[in-house]
Amino acid sequence: MILASLIVELINGNSNWELYLNKLLIIAGMFLIKEILAGISTNISHTATFQSLRNIRKEISDKLFEMPLGNITSISSGTLKDIIVDKVDSMETTLSHILPEMTANIVGPVLLIIYMWSV
């Protein structure tokens, strides 16, 4: 919106350079805020993801202790490691990146379309 108003001022031939500088500083400040909030969002999503992965591993381990020993000994240690470590780790990217990025990729264009209709 600020960039649009800056372009309108340019088209109208406004020669007040202080106005342009102020608007550019506001745009730079908003970009900085966006980057800070994106970092916070990524930090929160990764923290929640790794807590979820820890809980999943704990539930798998608890389930293994409840299973009959004959079933456990018939499974190789590599298979158990694959299930407990690798399969659970494969969920990290989906959980930690999908929600923040999907939200930004949906909300941003929707807000842009709404703004464009209002202009």
* Helix, strand, coil distribution of the chain in percent, nearest 5: 90, 0, 10
Radius of gyration of the chain (CA): 25
**Residue 13: alpha-carbon gap to chain centroid:** 41
Query: Considering the entire predicted model, what is its pTM?
Result: 0.67
User: Looking at residue 47, what is its pLDDT?
Assistant: 92
- What does the pLDDT look like over 54-113, one tens digit per residue? 999 999 889 888 888 887 888 888 888 888 888 888 888 888 888 778 888 898 899 889
pLDDT given for residue 76 in this prediction: 84
Give yes or no for a contact between 84 and 60, defined as CB atoms under 8 angstroms apart: yes
Whether residue 5 is predicted with pLDDT greater than 90 in this model: the reply is no
**The amino acid at 115:** Y
Residue for token pair 């999907």: 102
pLDDT at 19: 86
